[in-house]
Structure 1
């Protein structure tokens, strides 16, 4: 395995692609059969499959509803194929003009240089408050 394929590096590329709005590069970090779960109570709650399903149901909708939506990947905890990222979301809701700054945790499973599973943990009340 090259350094480029180490689980934390794959996850980091996903965050960088997301921050740059490069959905093609983001999809390239995802396995064809990825399972991406947004937490119950989050506006985009659900489990999405396929790289295209993830970007169309999550990233494209975030950009449509929020200005400057950013996931800041602050700290990584790696155990084999498991990568947990302690992060923050920052954004301004387009409809309300309210800003959100909320801590989150993301759990990724990386195999063969691709993200095969993602699960989000977030204080959904703070996100929903910025939307109302």
Structure 2
């Protein structure tokens, strides 16, 4: 099998994997997303927000990012995938997310996730989003307002 053929097969498999995961997320099912994270998964949010940093390890992503984030939501999170592009082990996913926070703020953001896949699992994620909206709509992860 040629290198070109292997690259094309990897590209197709990774695109299909993320397409299936995002289709489930668009239905409100986040379980396949979490299950696809490698144990050493790294999720990076660039910028200067209280949420901006690299979360290292699947458990840290869940406990330090996803749980505190979803604790702020008053309504179900709705995602709508716009496009998916893949090249080898890299997959880019553009999607919209809509939710209302417990403080009554609309948090309707557009995202571009750049994944690095390995063996069918998500190894790395770089998340691009509107950081000004993060600052306007979300409380800091350790905010006392979340405990109320």
Q: Which TM bucket (shorter chain)?
A: 0.7 to 0.9
Does structure 1 residue 87 correspond to structure 2 residue 92? Answer: no
What are structure 1's unaligned runs of at least 5 residues? none
2:121 aligned with 1:114, yes or no? yes
User: What root-mean-square deviation, in Å, do the aligned CA atoms of Structure 1 and Structure 2 show?
Assistant: 2.6
Provide the TM-score with structure 2 as the length reference.
0.72
Larger Rg: 2
Matches within 5 A, 1:50-65: 50-65=57-72
Q: Distance in 1 between matches of 2:57 and 2:91?
A: 20
Q: State the SS of the aligned residue for 1:118.
A: strand
Query: Cα gap change, 1:107/1:21 in structure 2, threshold over 3 Å: closer, same or farther?
Result: closer
CA contact (8 A) 1:91 1:99 kept: yes
For structure 1, which segment, 5-14 or 72-81, has the greater mean C-alpha deviation from structure 2 after superposition? Answer: 5-14
Which of 29, 33, 45 is the aligned partner of 1:20?
29
Given that 1:69 and 1:91 are in contact with CA atoms closer than 8 Å, whether structure 2 keeps it comes out as yes
Q: How many matched pairs? A: 128
Unaligned runs of 5+ in 2: 1-5, 140-148
Question: What SS does the corresponding residue of 2:51 show, helix, strand or coil?
Answer: coil
Partner of 2:107: 100
Q: What is residue 44 of structure 2 aligned with on the other side?
A: 37
Using structure 1 for the length normalisation, give the TM-score.
0.80
Q: Show the counterpart of 1:47.
A: 54
User: Cα 1:55–1:17, aligned 2, differ >3 Å: closer, same or farther?
Assistant: farther
| Structure 1 residue 13, shift from structure 2 partner | 4.5
